Amino acid sequence: MKVIAKWKRACAWSLVAGLSVMQPATAAAADVTVLVNGSFNAYPPWMDDWSPEFSAIANTFGYPPIQFRWFDNEAVYPPFYGGIFNGAFALASFLNGIGGDNLNLIAHSHGGNVVKIASYYLSRPFRHLIHLGTPVNWDLYPLGGYAYSFCQVSSYTDYVQFGGSSPWQVGNFGYEQYLAARFFFDAGEAAFNGDWDLFAYYMAEGAYHEAQANYWWLSTKLEWYAANYMFGGESHGDLHEPPVWYAIRNQCALN
């Protein structure tokens, strides 16, 4: 689908730091929307010009977005997260020179953490900041800049998002799940032996630790400083697809 860009002036096509982008020629260009890839793939299909996702985003804003690609996207593990920081520095440099009026960012997965770190080095705010399946990782920085609208879009069943969080969060979830399973097992033994008081005690303990495990699970998905939108059964890759976009765009892109 061809979308006519509503630039105030003509755009110049250029390559910037090895990125595939369309860069406005002057700071007088209209609003700018930038897509940021996630981990392990600098060229995800959803960011391609001909993808349904690209068209849905372009139709929402009224002009085609720009693709920013960070390439050191396999170095996303603790303790250093080097690829995320390298991507953030490159993104900040790119955004500070891109011009335009309102700045919108849409990032998938760890691309959202790249954006959050980049925000510390930006000279401008975000108009709309939308994170799709971004792991909320307590090892990394929260948003440092200002966003007039900040949305965190997650799925409760997204295991990839959970896996991208900090070892502290993952470890505490695993420990609480272990305790819950142990107490539920003990409750089963108590019921088998007819000790209903002990059964009730073990069930209560198991439920408590299951609730604690759920807290740590959600800690990887809920962003303190954002409007959070939680889906039920979507996978990590589903979160950038058009059905999810159309479900959240009025609250996150057109507000």
Domain boundaries, the chain: 11-164+221-252, 167-215
The predicted model gives 174-190 an average pLDDT of 99
Residue range 29-49, pLDDT digits in tens: 589 999 999 999 999 999 999
Tell me: pLDDT of 12 over 90.
no
What is the reported pLDDT for 4? 29
- Output the six-digit token pair for 140: 């990394």
Answer yes or no: is pLDDT of 166 > 50. Answer: yes
Torsion angle of C-alpha atoms 118, 123, 126, 132, degrees rounded to 10: -10
H or E element, residue 205 = helix 196-219
Query: CA dist 223 to 130, 154, 198, 209, Å?
Result: 11, 10, 39, 23
Question: CB-based burial of residue 157 (10 Å sphere; 0-12 exposed, 13-18 middle, 19+ buried)?
Answer: middle
CATH superfamily of 11-164+221-252: Alpha/Beta hydrolase fold, catalytic domain (3.40.50.1820)
Question: Torsions phi, psi of 81, nearest 5?
Answer: 50, 40
- Window from 5-19, 81-95, 179-193, 217-231 with minimum mean pLDDT: 5-19
The string of pLDDT tens digits covering residues 58-110 is 999 999 999 999 999 999 999 999 999 999 999 999 999 998 899 999 999 99
Mean pLDDT over each residue of the chain, to the nearest integer: 90
Confidence band, pLDDT 50/70/90 cuts, at residue 8:
very low
Across residues 120-148, what is the average pLDDT? Answer: 97
CA separation for the pair 158, 148 (Å, rounded): 27
The H or E element that residue 149 is part of is strand 147-155
Question: In terms of C-beta density within 10 A (0-12 exposed, 13-18 middle, 19 or more buried), how is residue 65 classed?
Answer: buried
From 139, 147, 50, select the one nearest 106 (Cα to Cα).
147
Q: Are 156 and 229 in contact (CB under 8 A)?
A: no
pLDDT band, very low/low/confident/very high, at 13 (cuts 50, 70, 90): very low
Instruction: Report the predicted TM-score, pTM, of the whole model to 2 decimal places.
Output: 0.87
Residue 19 has pLDDT above 90, yes or no: no
Residue 63's CB: how many other CB atoms inside 10 A? 21
Mean pLDDT of the region 150-175:
99
